A and B are shown apart, each in its own frame.
Chain A
Amino acid sequence: MKKAPLFVIALTLLLGLGLAQTLLPDRTFSDMENRVLAGRPAFGLASVSMSRWADSFETYCADQLPLRDQFVSLYTAWEAATGHRVIGDVILGGDSRLFDRTDGWKARNMRLNASALADLEEASGLPLYLLAVPSAAAVYADCLPAGAPVADEEELLALAAREVNVIPLLPALKASASREALYYRTDHHWTAAGARIGYERVCAALGLSPLPEPALAELEPFYGSFYARCPLPWQRPDTFAYPEDLPLRLTVSGEEKDGLVDREQLRGRDLYAALLYGNHDRIELINDGVAEGTWFVIKDSYANALLPALARHCHRVVAIDARHFAGDVVAAARETEGDLILCIQGVNSLASGRTLALLEGL
C-alpha cells in the first residue's frame, strides 16, 4: 500500500464499485430519468447471441452503477464548474433559471402544424383559436447568457398567425415576468401564475369575464424536467402550486377520477404530472354548475394548468392530446357537437415536431 498507493486505492475503488454492483439489489426504475432501468441480462450460451448479451451487459452496468444519480450530479457540477452554460441541452440562465435549448426548432414544423389546424377549422366548421405557450426562454430572455442557442419564438408565432387565429400571449407574459414567477426554474412548464395569464388571454379572446382565481395549495421542493436533465447539486428548487378544489368532474380515458389532481403523483418527483393525471389521449371535464356550452380542446401538458379554470365557463370540455390520440380528429370534433375548438400547445410542441400535421383526418 505504501509503495503503490494510487494502484491500491484506484483498484480498490474500481473493484469495490464492481462488487457493489454485483451484490446490491438492482434498481428497477429511475425517478430522475422517468424510465425503467435495464436488468441483469440472462446469459445465452449460443455464441451468436454473445455480442447482444455483451451489449445488454454494458447497458446493465451503466444503468445499475452504484451511486449513479450522485455520479451524474457530480459530472453536471464538473461541467458547470468548467464554464459550461449548456448542459444536456439545458441552458443555465441567470437567477437560477434553467431553459430549454431551442435552436433546433423548425419554422417548417410550425407552418405544417398551423396549416393542419386551419384545415381542421375548415373541415369541422367550428371557430378555432390557438393559444401557443412560449418557452421560458422567450419570456425571461434577459436571464439567458448572451448568444444562447434559442429560437426566435416571436417569428414562429407570426408564422402560425398567418394560418390560424392565434390568441396573443407572449406580450402579456413578458409584461408580468418581472413581477411574478410565470415559469418554473427547474421545469419547462409554466406556473399557476403563468397559466393564469394564459387563462385571462383566452377569456379576452372569447369575450368572457375572468372568474376569481381559486385557492392554491403549495408543495416543495419541486425539481422538474430541466433538473432531471441537468441535476446541479446547488440548483434552487421550485415551489409547486396547484388549484385545491374546483367543482368539476374529471374523466380520463373513460374513467372518472376523484378530483383534478393525482394525489399519488404528488408524492413523487414530477409534481406537474399530477395535474389532470398527466397526459392521456382523451379527457373530459364536466361542470355541473353551467348548463350549456361544449368546447373541443387539442392540448398538450401546458393546458393541464389552465383547463380547470377554463372549464368553469362551460358545461363540458372534451380535450384530446394529439400525441396519444389515435382516432379521426375531425370526426371527434364533430361528434363533440361543441361551440368552438381551442388548441392549447407549447411552442415547442408546434415547432419541434409535426404532431398536429400527422393527426388522422387532416
Chain B
Amino acid sequence: MLFSSLTFLFYFLPAVVLIHRLLPQKAQNPFLFAASLVFYAWGEIRYVPLFFALLLADYGLGLLLGRARGGTGRKALMALGVLVDIGALVYYKYSGFLLGSLGLAGRFSVPQSLPLGISFFTFQAVGYLIDVYRRQTEPERDIFAFGAFLFLFPQLIAGPIVRYGDLKAALHTRRRPGAEALDKGMALFVAGLASKVLLANPLGALSEELRAVTGDSACQWAHLTAYTLHIYFDFWGYSVMTLGMGRMLGFRFPRNFNHPYAAASITDFWRRWHITLGGWFRDYVYIPLGGSRKGTARTLLNMLVVWALSGFWHGAGWTFILWGLWFFAALVIDKYALRRFHAPGIVRRVFALLCVVVGYAFFTAPDLKSAGETLAALFSFRAGPTALFWLRENAVLLAVSVACCVPPVIEAGRRLLGRHTALRCACMLAALLICLAALAKSSYNPFIYFRF
C-alpha cells in the first residue's frame, strides 16, 4: 500500500489514527503491529512468512543476546543475527546480480521480486542486534512492541532507519498525542503528500521525457537536473509523511533530510541527505573498521568500503556500485584537495551540486553502457530546441522546486503558516484537494479507440 493511494488515504490512515488514539496502552502496540501487518500484506502477502520469520529470529536473538554472558557466545549470537538479516537481504535483493556477475545466471532459481522495504527493516534489525550486543540498549521483551518497532508502517517502506533507542520510550508509554501534535502531524503529512504528488511525480515525468532525447546534451543535463529534484522531493515527501504520521501516532521519528541541496560541500551534502542511512553506515561499518583514527591510507580504505556498500545498498547493479564509488572519489577530492587548500566556498558548493547531478547518470542508467552514453551526451555539447521547450513548459514547477530547496524560503513559509492558522488550514486543504485531484487524474484513462 502506498501512502499516496486512495485506499490508504480514505480508509487505512483515518482508521488507524483514530482507533490507535482511543485504545488503552496495552492494546496500542498489538494494534499498531496488526495494522503494519495489514499494510504489508496488502501488496506483499507472499512475503508475510518472511516478515514473521525475521521478526521471530530478531526478537529471539535479541533476548538471547540480553541473557548471554560470555563474550564469544554473544559475539556468535550477534554474528548469527547479522547473518540472518543480511542473508535475507542478499538472497532477495542481490542473488540474481551476484549469480549473473559470476556467470551462473539461470543455474539457480532466484527471487523475481523484492520484498517491500527489506533494505530498510533488515538494516533496522541489524542495528538493533548490534546495539543490544554493545549493551547500548536492553532487548525488547514485548514481542508486539518489538514488532511495532521493526515493521511500523509509516517507516516500513522508505525509512527512516530508526534505532530502537529512539523509539523505546514511546513504545512503552500511553501514546495519546495532543491537539497540537495531531495538527502538526497532519500538516507534515499533507506537505509530504504534496511534495510527492505535486512536485516529485511531474518532475519524474519531465525527467523521463528529456531522458528519451538521447544524444542531446541540453536534454541530458536537463534530465539529470530534473531527476535530482525528482528524487529529492519523492524521498523527502515520503520522509515528511512518515514524520507526520509518527506525530499523529505519538512517535517522533528522526529527520532524514536537512536541505541537502543547500549543502556547503559534498561532505556536508551527505550529512544532510538520507541522514539515518548515513548514520547507520557510520555507526555500524565505518567506525568499527577504524573510522579515520588509523591513518590516511586506512581512512581511505574505510571510506572506499563504506561508499561501495552504500552504492550497493541502493540497488543490485554495477551502476549503483559505481555511483557509490563516484561519491567516494568526490569526498576524497573535497576532503584532501578542496578543504585542505582552502578552496572558496562557492567552488565547494558548485562541486557538490555537480557531483550529485552527474552522479545520477549512473543511478538512473539500467546498465553501464547506458550510463556511459548519458555521460558522453552530457559533454557532447550538441543540443536541439527540445530541452528549451520542456524547460519552458515546466518553468513554474522547476522554479517552485528550486525555491523549496532553499532553506530561507522554506523557513519563511513555515513561519508565515505557523503564525496564521486560517491561512495554514486553507493552504494545506487546498494542497490536499489538488493532491486528490492528481491521484484521480493518474487513474484517468480515456479509452479513445475512436481517436483515429
Contacts and interface: CB of A to CB of B under 8 A. Distances in A.
Interface of A: 3-7, 9-11, 13-15, 17-18, 21, 32-35, 47-48, 50-51, 54-55, 57-59, 61-63, 65, 68, 71-72, 74-76, 78, 82-86, 88, 100, 145-149, 188, 225, 228-229, 270, 272-273, 278-279, 300-301, 323, 345-346, 348-349, 352
Nearest to B2: A58
Given A47-B45, A61-B6, A65-B6, A147 B441 contact: no
Contacts of B388: 147
Contacts of B1: 54
* Residue of B18, B45, B424, B452 with most partner-chain A CB within 10 A: B452
A6 B429 contact: yes
Interface residues on B, range: 35 or more
SS class, residues of chain B in contact with chain A: helix
A345 B452 CA distance: 8
28 contacts: A4-B179, A5-B183, A6-B183, A6-B186, A13-B432, A14-B14, A18-B10, A33-B447, A47-B48, A50-B41, A51-B42, A54-B42, A61-B5, A61-B7, A62-B442, A68-B440, A71-B440, A74-B433, A74-B434, A75-B437, A78-B434, A83-B395, A88-B446, A145-B389, A147-B389, A188-B451, A300-B452, A345-B452
Nearest to A33: B446
A17 B437 CA distance: 13
Contacts of B46: 48, 51
Interface of B: 1, 5-7, 9-11, 13-14, 17-18, 41-46, 48, 178-180, 182-183, 185-187, 190, 248, 385-386, 388-389, 392-397, 421, 424-425, 428-429, 432-434, 436-452
Nearest to A63: B443
* Residue of B10, B41, B385, B394 with most partner-chain A CB within 10 A: B10
Given A5-B421, A9-B429, A68-B440, A18 B14 contact: yes
A35 B444 CA distance: 10
A352 to B, nearest CB: 8
Contact of B440 (A4, A15, A62, A225): A62
A6 B452 contact: no
Contact of A15 (B6, B10, B385): B10
A148 B447 CA distance: 24
A229 B441 CA distance: 10
Contact of B436 (A71, A85, A300): A71
A75 B434 contact: yes
Contact of B179 (A7, A9, A68, A76): A7
B202 to A, nearest CB: 8
Nearest to A228: B446
Nearest to A104: B212
Given A6-B428, A54-B42, A65-B6, A147 B447 contact: no
Nearest to B398: A83
A72 B440 CA distance: 6
A82 B198 CA distance: 11
Contacts of B425: 5-6, 9
